Structure 1
Amino acid sequence: MIKNVHGNTVDQLGEDIVSGRYAVGAALPPEPMLCETLGVSRTVIREAVKSLVAKGLLITGPKLGTRVLPEEHWNWFDPDVVVWQSKIGFTREFLRDLQELRRVVEPAAVRLAAERATADDIANIEEAYAGMRAAIELGGDYVTHDLRFHQGLLRACHNRMVIQMSKALGALLRTAFELSTMRPDGPAQSLPLHRAVLDAVIARAPAKAERAILVLIDGAGEDIETVLNSRRKLPSLALPAPRLKARLPAAVAAKPAAPAR
């Protein structure tokens, strides 16, 4: 998505704050200096500051100026904040918090989904699952379908607050899913685990659905640890989700190579 001048200015200042260029408690440079540095008007700077105040990164006030708040004040459900963090690099603490959040929210939501999911809910989740399977077999965007699968489960619990949370969780969940896809055969290995969750929801088996989603979440946690320990470069959410390569059919993969001539 192409952003306008306001959006680009919010991004630049937000990244500078998250990266630590402006330290916690420090005042932002005066407006004229920011205008010159970023090449924008005072009006744009003021509107950008308002946006960052709303996201919890800044505080403004008389005799206080505009100062950077500690990260515990930042709105981690704001997709922009998560994207800025992804550009800087995810810490183990951030990913630990994400895993703990998933373990708190998703199992309870899936239990409710197993009790309350409608035929339309099931159809939407089935469609997302089919997209995941197609991406594995034929190549393509796995992460988007994975995100749709999990958000579909959260919506299927028919709790208005959880549904609202599912929208805010989007960037956080995408973080976990992209890291899992970095592990060789990670998506292929997790696909049956997704099927087990969906089958339990269809069977109206809340306890079974809860156990299945916990297995899936814990498996994702292991994938994340593997990627972190490999010291591979982590994905940036500012970029489109990576596409999987098509998997060779089993018969073709097992066929011995022709002898060299």
Structure 2
Amino acid sequence: MFLIKNVHGNTVDHLGEAIVAGRYGVGASIPPEPVLCQELGVSRTVVREAVKSLIAKGLITTGPKVGTRVLSEDHWNWFDPDVIIWQSKAGLTPEFLRDLQDLRRVVEPAAMRLAAERATAQDIAEVEAAYAGMKHAVEHGGDYVTHDLRFHQGLLRASRNRMLVQMSKALGALLRTSFEISTRRKDGPVHSLPLHRAVLDAVIAHQPDEAEIAIRVLIDGAKEDIEEVLASRRRLPVLSSPARQLKAA
């Protein structure tokens, strides 16, 4: 990871991970610039730019006489992929995962209704390609999660609503969290594949009611997968790692 990101990105990661992991408590000050420069081996400019990035993500605030202080997680930008990755490294909590499922139940059914009304031939072709990738991964092994993500993001784009299209980008890391966990369950992808097909078929047939029902069934299945994994106390995924590869059937 260090070799992939530049100095700025590594500095943001170092501080962001420390904050999300609780090494700097809420209301606490992060170390001053000279200390961070020495600790991380970077310039003051790099530290200042990293601080600006963390302010934009809602993790810290700064002001005269109060210094740079850590904000509570209620202020964090939970649509920022970096924040999600840092949380996965610190440990995905049941509360976080249940919040994610609630969000999916609010957003995706409405988006599927719109997709069933507005999807173009190109939209359908992109989602079909994603589904084909999922099916291939189930039958022959490979990267199921990435294709699953493309499937859902493609349907969000097919809603032809600019705000939902923008949200599809922001939801990427959140959705991947759910999909990574679902694939941990034995035969999870095998059981969810026909549920995905039902959603896509309803969109192709321009049936909004059926599309909404189908996506709710799919989301409820994912919720059961997550609850089972949580109950088993199995290790949860770390999103900075490559997507899990399915083995050939």
Displacement of 1:179 in angstroms is 0.2
Displacement of 1:37 in angstroms is 1.4
Q: Does 1:207 align with 2:209?
A: yes
Q: Does 1:138 align with 2:176?
A: no
Q: In the alignment, which of 1, 7, 10 is matched to residue 9 of structure 2?
A: 7
Q: 2:248 matched to which residue of 1?
A: 246
Displacement of 1:73 in angstroms is 0.5
Q: 1:227 matched to which residue of 2?
A: 229
Listed one character per residue, the Cα deviations across residues 155-205 of structure 1 (whole Å, up to 9, x for unaligned) are 000000000000000000000000000001000000000000000111111
Q: 1:78 matched to which residue of 2?
A: 80
One-letter identity of the residue aligned with 2:112 = V
Q: 1:23 matched to which residue of 2?
A: 25
Give every structure 1 segment of 4 or more consecutive aligned residues whose post-TM-superposition deviation is greater than 4 Å.
Answer: none
Q: Does 1:47 align with 2:49?
A: yes
Displacement of 1:243 in angstroms is 0.4
The 1-side partners of 2:141 and 2:47 are apart by 43
Displacement of 1:38 in angstroms is 1.3
The 2-side partners of 1:38 and 1:227 are apart by 37
One-letter identity of the residue aligned with 2:239 = L
Structure 1 or 2, whichever has the larger Rg, is 1
The 2-side partners of 1:203 and 1:43 are apart by 55
The 2-side partners of 1:44 and 1:172 are apart by 28
One-letter identity of the residue aligned with 1:98 = L
Q: For 1:179, what is the secondary structure of its paired residue?
A: helix
1:171-186 aligned within 5 A: 171-186=173-188
Q: In the alignment, which of 44, 64, 74 is matched to residue 66 of structure 2?
A: 64
The 1-side partners of 2:224 and 2:43 are apart by 47
One-letter identity of the residue aligned with 2:26 = V
Unaligned segments of structure 1, at least 5 residues: 248-261
What RMSD, in angstroms, separates the aligned Cα atoms of the two structures?
Answer: 0.7
Listed one character per residue, the Cα deviations across residues 235-256 of structure 1 (whole Å, up to 9, x for unaligned) are 1001010100000xxxxxxxxx
The 2-side partners of 1:76 and 1:114 are apart by 28
Displacement of 1:35 in angstroms is 1.2
TM-score between both structures, scaled by the size of structure 2: 0.98
Kindly, what percent of the aligned residue pairs are identical?
77
How many residue pairs match? The answer is 247
Unaligned segments of structure 2, at least 5 residues: none
One-letter identity of the residue aligned with 1:191 = L
Q: 1:114 matched to which residue of 2?
A: 116
Displacement of 1:105 in angstroms is 0.1
The 2-side partners of 1:28 and 1:235 are apart by 28
